[in-house]
Structure 1
Amino acid sequence: MKHYFRYMGRKQLILVYAIFLFMMVWGFDLLTTIKYGEPYDVTAFWNIFNLCALFYAGSTLLLVRAAGIKFYRSRRYALLLLGLLGTLIYFMAVRYLLEQLILPKFFEAQNYPSNISLKYFILDNTYYASIYVVLGVLFFLLENQAYNEKKQAVLQQQTRDAELQFLRSQVNPHFLFNTLNNIYSLAYERSEKTADAILRLSDLMRYMLYEKKQQVAILREWQYISSLVELQRLRFEHELPVEMELSGNADKTSLPPYFLIPFIENAFKHGDFTDNRIPLLIRLTITDNGWEFETRNKISHKNKDAMGGVGLDNIRRRLEILYPGQYKMDINDGDGLFSLRLSLNNKADDQMPGSRR
């Protein structure tokens, strides 16, 4: 039942209470008739005493739940105990009002003898009232645990979304800073490429500012990468050696926007593109199970700082948040080459371990 409470909504909760009340009010008679093989009298279902029991038992459960919501969740336990005690008194008072005063007067029906003492009635009904109060408390505690778990899940999701938004925002200024530096260099040299560079930057910024979806088609991201490469070409006097390969259904597969950009930025930041025999390789292969992204470039000896930085740390964190256990990232910087291969398996039943190399 604990797991059932965890995943049920309001309608399912009402159903649980209804089934419980049915079993408490009519279940004993049903079991008795089944036990002795006697036919069940349908008219007994609407017995006036059963209807009264349904009212005071049901309202007692609701009062216990209300006391729990009001006092237990705010940790006012003394008031909670007073509320439960008041519910016990309510149960006995309503039952006495219905069965000892109203029913005899209007329906000529009476559950207890008319000469029963108030003391006996209270002692006898303390037991029955306690059953409903205790079970009401148990139901509320199970419901409250589900409530807390759902609340915690919402908070975790909000934290996750906020962190993803922060990581995503890191990409934009980092990219913009590097690109403006490149355009500044072109403008300083009075290069004819300056105007083209500003136009391409404008197109890229439009994508960065207005693409707010959680997921975009890989084709859209690939177009962004292509524009970024073209913008980087403007930095060089010679032809930039780049090989770009895209295969698979890029229009039907999606990923988070700006997801692959840090890899490209790192390649240009740390790469040596003076040797046409070793071009910058950018390859993206899409399969039915996921996709694989690969980059390879010659390492520049002019830039001595460590590979990675904000870009790769950013992408690792985003991978851990979005695709835990579904990705594998291999990095190799031997023989003067920096290569990276990122594989993502979208099949939850065929997960790959996340590499932290």
Structure 2
Amino acid sequence: MKLRLGRFIASFFGFFLIMEALRDLMRSPEYWQRFLENPIEFTLSILQSALLFICYALFSYLFLYSRYKKQPKWITVAGIITIALGVIGLRYLVEEVILKAITGYGNYYEGTTALYYISDNLYYAILYTAFGVCWFFVNYAVIRDQQQQELVLENKKSELAFLKSQINPHFLFNMLNNIYSLINMGSDKALAATEKLGQLLRYSLYETDKLVTISEELDAVMGYVELEKLRFRESVQTTIHCDPQALHLQVTPFLLMPLVENAFKHGVVTNPNLPITIHIGLEQKILQLKVSNAIAQREKDSVGGIGVENLQKRLQLTYGSDYSFEKTIADEVFTVVIKIHFPS
């Protein structure tokens, strides 16, 4: 979400002119007379008020922009109230202390109490603080709506990319031929392979429009690995470790699948010393997903394909600043580490 201070300031002054300057000019002929007699002095007076009143809106907007998602809601409310009262104090300092010392005139009569000054300024505090708050939430809602639409689009792209790269006619014919061979040999693996293929198709077609649990994502990944094993003469080497506390967590679908698919496309998956390794941990509300695999010599320049790039985009749209994505290559091993922070 961008700050967009230029739009904010322009909108505020438009709002201020409607609420204060034009209202006063329409309400009393005296204001017209003052404006006609000395337009410069009148304009400077209006500008002074605007610069003070914008503090209510601007400070509230900046406070929400920087802190809204990082703290409990009651702290946010307390912060807004503190800002409003603080700006009242700032206005008192400027008008009743600084300007009065310079010009000899204040905005209030001598003897005005602090309580009266605060109560008299509550109208402006509430009005212009509300402007800053409303500006933030309107922009926040617009940005969230745009991100949601982008996320839906990216999820569809992810689904289509996966279907094209794996659940395509070539992949299906391959799997069906393997299953046919198993049936022809009377192997007990035929039924299990057919079930795995059905589960993978179902997951890729029906689970992309909602959140899934880590357990569901792992089931899909293991089903995919079992199917890939059918086309390898050598044994596919995989190591999977998952913290049981993480299994129930809901995440965006296809977090692990693109990384495992990438390992089969660009990596060595039959080396017992360097297996495909999947590690899922949960510590202090931070979920860590780590996938590593040996790099095939012929594919050094292709490590991390479109699926990995798409995954990064979906993570950004789904989790904003609550995630990190790191990929490294060391000792011929490609590793991706994803960390997702789950609020309390």
Q: Mapping of 1:19-30 within 5 angstroms?
A: none
Q: Decide which structure has the larger Cα Rg and report it.
A: 1
Confirm whether residue 230 of structure 1 aligns to residue 218 of structure 2. no
Matches within 5 A, 1:59-208: 84=23, 88=27, 143-177=130-164, 178-180=166-168, 181-187=170-176, 191-192=181-182, 199-208=195-204
Quick one: which amino acid aligns to residue 333 of structure 2?
A: L
* 8 A Cα contact 2:239 2:278, kept in partner: yes
Deviations for 1:131-176, whole angstroms, at most 9, x for unmatched residues?
Answer: xxx9999976665554443222111001111122222222212222
Look up the match of 2:313.
317
SS of residue in 1 equivalent to 2:220 = helix
- Root-mean-square deviation (CA), in Å? 4.2
Structure 1 residues 84-118: Cα deviation after superposition (integer angstroms, max 9, x where no partner): 589638xxxxxxxxxxxxxxxxxxxxxxxxxxxxx
Deviations 1:192-244 (A, max 9, x none): 38886554333223233333665332222222222222222222233221122
Matched, 1:301 2:297: yes
Cα distance in structure 1, aligned partners of 2:146 and 2:209: 18
1: distance between equivalents of 2:282 and 2:131?
45
The 3-state SS of whatever aligns with 1:298 is strand
Is it true that 1:343 corresponds to 2:339 in the alignment? yes
Aligned amino acid, residue 162 of structure 1: Q
Contact 1:171-1:262 within 8 A present in 2 as well: no
Runs of 4+ in structure 1 off by over 6 angstroms are 134-141
Tell me how far apart the structure 2 counterparts of residues 319 and 275 of structure 1 sit (CA, whole Å): 31
Q: Provide the C-alpha distance between the structure 1 equivalents of 2:198 and 2:128, rounded to a whole number of angstroms.
A: 57
**CA displacement at 1:326 relative to structure 2:** 4.0
Q: Which runs of 5+ in 1 are unaligned?
A: 1-71, 90-121, 128-133, 349-357
2:163–2:204 Cα contact (<8 Å) kept:
no
Specify whether residues 275 and 260 from structure 1 end up closer, same or farther in structure 2 by C-alpha distance, changes over 3 A only: closer
Give the alignment's TM-score, normalised by structure 2.
Answer: 0.55
Q: Distance in 1 between matches of 2:198 and 2:175?
A: 16
Q: 1:295–1:251: structure 2 CA closer, same or farther, 3 Å change rule? A: closer
Q: Residues 225 and 174 of structure 1: is their aligned pair in 2 closer, same or farther, counting only changes over 3 Å? A: same
Q: How far apart are the structure 1 equivalents of 2:143 and 2:173? A: 42
1:255 aligns with 2:251: yes
Q: Distance in 2 between matches of 1:252 and 1:336?
A: 33
Identity of aligned residues (%): 22
Q: Which amino acid aligns with 1:239?
A: S
Is 1:217 equivalent to 2:213 in the alignment?
yes
Distance 1:144-1:343 versus aligned 2 partners, 3 A rule: closer
For the residue of structure 2 that corresponds to 1:231, the secondary structure is: helix
Matched-pair contact (CA < 8 Å) for 1:183–1:194: no
Contact 1:183 1:198 in 2 (8 A): no
Unaligned runs of 5+ in 2: 1-13, 35-49, 54-122, 183-188
Q: Is the 8 A contact 2:262 2:307 kept in 1?
A: yes
Supply the distance in 1 between the matched residues of 2:141 and 2:150 (Cα, whole angstroms): 14
Relative to structure 1, the CA distance from residue 250 to residue 159 in structure 2 (aligned partners, 3 Å threshold; closer, same or farther) is: same
1:62-89 deviation digits (Å, cap 9, x = unpaired):
xxxxxxxxxx79xxx9x999x9589638
TM-score (normalised: structure 1): 0.54
> 1:262 Cα shift?
1.5
Query: What is residue 242 of structure 1 aligned with on the other side?
Result: 238
> Which structure: greater helix fraction?
2
The code of the aligned residue for 2:158 comes to V
Distance 1:176 1:305, change over 3 A: farther
SS at match of 1:268: helix
Q: What is the DSSP-based 3-state SS (H/G/I as helix, E as strand, rest coil) of the residue aligned with 2:233?
A: coil
**Is 1:287 aligned with 2:283?**
yes
Determine if contact 2:279/2:291 at 8 Å carries over to the other structure: yes
Distance (Å, rounded) in 2 between the aligned partners of 1:166 and 1:233? 32
